[in-house]
Amino acid sequence: MRFGVFTSLTLQTWPGVLDLWQHLEATGWDIACVSDHFMPNTQDREGPVLESWSTLAALAALVPRMRVGTIVLGNTYRHPAVVAKMAAQVDIISGGRLLLGVGAGWQRNEHEAYGIPFYTMRERLERLDEACEVIRSLWTQHRSNFTGRYYQLSDAPLDPKPVQKPHPELMIGGGGERVTLRIVARHADHWNVWGGPAVLTRKGKILDEHCAAVGRDPKTITRSVNMALLITDKKDEIDTLAKTIETRMGRHAADARDTVLGGTPDQIRDTLRQLKAAGADVVFIPTLFRPLPELRRDLDRFIKEIAPAFR
């Protein structure tokens, strides 16, 4: 298994994010990813939010070992040809370490504030499906032509190409069982979902079915989960964190608890064993649910005391 940190860029500063990533690099984490938002998802809509791509490009140059990526870009925010171009450049800057995570887009208040069409859920997913084809084509073809319902390319170049061959790892984030996982089966090198062993087991079986339907070996798709870390022997602290996740993300209580990587070191090791049995290749720890100074102490303990046995 590999271990990464999913860095929220909301209510952060550039020096703070750089310091965190350089610390993650020095302490042995495998990968770090940034979020992709323009404003907080709160009623008052107040507070600084760092821009995803420019931040990632700078980090890619200053943090030379870890893989770097996005969890996940909102497809509605940028034309996929523009994303393919930016991703190729970040892959070049990083020396071939980019993980490109994309999703359909979900944060309504950003779309409304900036006049970005939000579309229906169905259309957002259809656009994501086409966007994956556009991005992969531009990465791999000398000239690309594409005629979709939403996106078109006409003899389009992408030069210079990414460093990674045949192309950077394309990750799709989401757990929608009827449509999103079908798109994952069609296009993704990597699938990312919020949840723990129970979610990964349940949805992983559905992804396997979608893979069978399109004639794809499900083992060719890397699987990763996002789980909130809390090293503690106090059950009430775990319950509080699960409630925070439920409130922030709108998840029902069972999935919120499954999303907590919490407990004593031995209990966390047991959860990691369950994750491995469920097919998890990568575990991402998000920074958005706990104060960063507290979380950093647990990140340090986790990567030093717990992670080595699972690598």
Could you read off the pLDDT of 46-83 as tens digits, one per residue? 899 999 999 999 999 999 999 999 999 999 999 999 99
First-to-final CA distance of the chain: 5
Amino acid at 200: L
Q: Are 39 and 49 in contact (CB under 8 A)?
A: yes
- The pLDDT of residue 254 is above 90: no
Q: How far apart are CA 112 and CA 169, in angstroms?
A: 31
pLDDT for position 249: 86
Q: How far apart are CA 157 and CA 52, in angstroms?
A: 24
Residues 6+ apart with CB under 8 A from 295: 229, 285, 287
Q: Are 119 and 76 in contact (CB under 8 A)?
A: yes
- The pLDDT of residue 279 is above 80: yes
Token pair, residue 105, equals: 């887009």
Q: Are 24 and 299 in contact (CB under 8 A)?
A: yes
Token pair, residue 59, equals: 């980090």
pLDDT for position 293: 94
- Percent of the chain residues topping a pLDDT of 70: 100
pLDDT for position 250: 78
Average pLDDT score, the chain: 96
Closest by CA to 102, choosing from 8, 23, 180, 16, is 180
pLDDT in tens, 288-298: 999 999 999 99
- Report residue 165: phi and psi, to 5°: -120, 135
pLDDT for position 6: 96
Token pair, residue 303, equals: 């990567």
Mean pLDDT of 216-243: 97
- The pLDDT of residue 212 is above 90: yes
Residue 44's pLDDT band (cuts 50, 70, 90):
confident
3-state secondary structure string across 235-280: HHHHHHHHHHHHHHHCCCHHHHHHCEEEECHHHHHHHHHHHHHHCC
- The pLDDT of residue 32 is above 90: yes
Residue with token string 């500063």: 13
Mean pLDDT of 222-237: 98
Residue 102's pLDDT band (cuts 50, 70, 90):
very high
Q: Distance from CA of residue 264 to its chain's centroid?
A: 26
pLDDT for position 128: 98
Residues 6+ apart with CB under 8 A from 180: 104, 125, 172, 174
Identify the weakest region by mean pLDDT among 2-11, 20-29, 220-229, 248-257. 248-257
Mean pLDDT of 127-152: 98
